[in-house]
Amino acid sequence: MNKELIVRSGSNAVDFALTKDGKLIELHKEEDNNNFSVGDIFIAKVRKPVTGLNAAFVDVGYEKDAFLHYHDLGPQLSSMLKFVKGASTGKLKDFSLKDFPFEKDIDKDGSINDAIKSNQSLLVQIVKEPISTKGPRISSELSLAGRYVVMVPFSDRVSVSQKIESKEEKERLKRLVRSIKPKGFGVIIRTVAEGKKVAELDKDLENLLTKWTVMCKKLYKAPHPSKVLVELNRASSILRDVFNDTFTGIHVDDTTLYNEIKDYVQEIAPKKESIVKLYESSVPIFEKFGIERQIKTSFGRTASMSKGAYLIIEHTEALHVIDVNSGNRSNKAKNQEDTALEVNMISATEIARQLRLRDMGGIIVVDFIDMGKPDHRKKLFEHLRDEMKDDRAKHKILPPSKFGLIQITRQRVRPERNIKTMEKNPNGLNGAEVEAPIVLIDKIKSDLEKLLSGPAKDNDVILHIHPFIAAYLTKGLQSIRFKWFMEYKKWVKVQSRDSYTYLEYRFKNKEGKTIY
């Protein structure tokens, strides 16, 4: 398995494409004007507590106040408020917490009015970026994420990621961290810490403690609201969260960004520094690595898959609905049940990819093809769960219902990626929009695959198409038509038709009869 990160730099944004074996699985954008990224910490003022919601609205500098629920205050709120007051007035000089007297934890089921007051200063962290008409969601239970651990101020608890399955390894990591963690800080041990030595964990904790100290120094006479800690830039945060030994390449088309990423990789994995490469070709980086094509074919209402199957993805205000379709195809499976299982398994893999790619959150309902056998439904459920193991967003999957529906909840902390794939109709029909022409080639290939696996497999196949598309299909020795021949062992004649519109095509036999 090869993982590559492709980084494209623009004038006001940077795009990050994460691929696995050449297939796009995550797409991120970092914009210069995003001042409220997940993980950023602000010194802010409480605007007003709202008893009915058991929450407060807090001014963090966004056009709409941030939402802070009582359950997001954190049990150590009183200690944090005391610390902030001391640091802001300059009375507190030691930020290590080793000699800081902790206050009693707040009541788990208490009232917002008993915990915080209007105009009170507190430290808050962005846990959900502004989405649609809502302001950011925040928490005053702070956490600083490192490569192997997450450090939690005003706590003493040590916990380990549930994804580490070995009991012995969990105990080993807990024992190591307890021996090196600074007093007054809790630690969450991340999945990537599995198998790591104490020196690596200690270095990570030291970096986070330095980060904490630098942040606290900014609190003295800081204006309210103001950002006191900036989460890593998107490139570094992606690398921090997903980078591992399976990475085979990081390609960057900007010199400054290349140097930043190279320095970061040198710090977290010196042996992997050589995989960071500066891309200097005249061909745009996303085109060179096939990202642009995959974006066009992956973000529409319809997502095509192998063997003619496809997904229909619809979005509403309340939830997302995904419909699985087998397509009009011949199948070698013995019966309908086997066909349904095969299509559902292919679809589950693509759905796991689509959720990460579009960063879909909230409630997702998937309508799989009905299957009568309970063991088939169980197999599908387990396969979907396995495919979503690499998803960093918190999620929960319910087993299939009797109607073949699977419900998924997935954490949403950023606005969903919504890329426009429709383009103006080149035939100029009343300003209507059509799918991007680049998608046409994939549709033709899909139709050809159905044809050559069905009744037309032993007959001559002639593709009638607009001259511009015909020229594109037949250009060069390694033309698209030649690749079809290598894959299907069948030579497809391409016939230019001046009377056809740009996106029109027909498959015919040598007698001129339309066969698709």
Q: What are the pLDDT digits (tens) for 282-308?
A: 888 998 898 888 887 788 788 888 777
How are the residues of the chain apportioned to helix, strand and coil, as percentages rounded to the nearest 5? 35, 25, 40
Q: The tokens 């699977």 sit on which residue?
A: 406
- Residue 431: what pLDDT? 62
Question: Is the pLDDT assigned to residue 323 strictly greater than 70?
Answer: yes
**Residues 418, 438: Cα–Cα separation, whole Å:** 18
- One-character DSSP codes across 63-121: SSPEEEEGGGS-TTHHHHHHHHHHHHHT-----S-SS--PPPPPPTT--HHHH--TT-E
The candidate with the shortest Cα–Cα distance to 262, out of 298, 287, 236, 296, is: 236
Residue 119's region, left for phi above 0, alpha for psi from -120 to 50, else beta, is left
Higher local confidence (pLDDT), 325 or 298: 325
- Residue 451: what pLDDT? 81
Q: What percent of the chain has pLDDT over 70?
A: 91
- Residue 330: what pLDDT? 47
DSSP state, residue 167 = H
What pairing do the DSSP bridges indicate for beta strands 276-278 and 247-252?
A: parallel
- Mean pLDDT score, 336-357: 90
Provide the pLDDT confidence category of residue 150 given band limits of 50, 70 and 90: very high
- Mean pLDDT score, 146-166: 90
Architecture of domain 40-229: Beta Barrel (2.40)
| Mean of the per-residue pLDDT values of the chain | 85
- Mean pLDDT score, 46-74: 90
The amino acid present at 305, given as its one-letter code, is: M
Architecture of domain 300-410: 3-Layer(aba) Sandwich (3.40)
Question: Is the pLDDT assigned to residue 1 strictly greater than 80?
Answer: no
Question: Is the pLDDT assigned to residue 331 strictly greater than 60?
Answer: no
Lowest mean pLDDT among 143-157, 315-329, 367-381, 486-500: 315-329
Note the pLDDT tens digit of each residue in 457-473: 667 889 999 898 899 89
Question: Is the pLDDT assigned to residue 421 strictly greater than 90?
Answer: no
- Residue 234: what pLDDT? 63
- Residue 450: what pLDDT? 78
- Mean pLDDT score, 404-426: 76
The candidate with the shortest Cα–Cα distance to 120, out of 97, 92, 88, 90, is: 88
Note the pLDDT tens digit of each residue in 433-460: 766 667 788 888 888 887 877 666 667 8
- Long-range contacts of residues 414-417, Cβ cutoff 8 Å, at least 24 apart: 414/38, 414/128, 414/129, 414/131, 414/359, 415/129, 415/130, 415/131, 415/132, 416/315, 416/358, 416/359, 416/360, 416/361, 417/27, 417/29, 417/299, 417/357, 417/358, 417/359
Provide the pLDDT confidence category of residue 339 given band limits of 50, 70 and 90: confident
Instruction: Name the burial class of residue 179, with classes exposed (0-12), middle (13-18) and buried (19+) by CB atoms within 10 angstroms of its CB.
Output: exposed
Question: Is the pLDDT assigned to residue 482 strictly greater than 50?
Answer: yes
Backbone φ and ψ for 463, nearest 5 degrees, come out as: -95, 115
User: 74 to each of 217, 330, 336, 367, how far by Cα in Å?
Assistant: 23, 57, 53, 39
- Residue 233: what pLDDT? 66
Written in H, E and C, the secondary structure of 22-49 is CEEEEEEEEECCCCCCCCCEEEEEEEEE
- Mean pLDDT score, 428-436: 67
Question: Is the pLDDT assigned to residue 226 strictly greater than 60?
Answer: yes
- Mean pLDDT score, 72-99: 89
Question: Is the pLDDT assigned to residue 189 strictly greater than 90?
Answer: yes
**Residues 142, 126: Cα–Cα separation, whole Å:** 9
- Mean pLDDT score, 335-350: 88
- Residue 501: what pLDDT? 83
Backbone φ and ψ for 210, nearest 5 degrees, come out as: -65, -40
- Residue 347: what pLDDT? 93
Lowest mean pLDDT among 16-25, 43-52, 98-107, 435-444: 435-444
- Residue 11: what pLDDT? 64
- Mean pLDDT score, 486-504: 87
Question: Is the pLDDT assigned to residue 25 strictly greater than 80?
Answer: yes
Note the pLDDT tens digit of each residue in 103-132: 888 888 889 988 888 888 899 999 888 877
Question: Is the pLDDT assigned to residue 385 strictly greater than 90?
Answer: yes
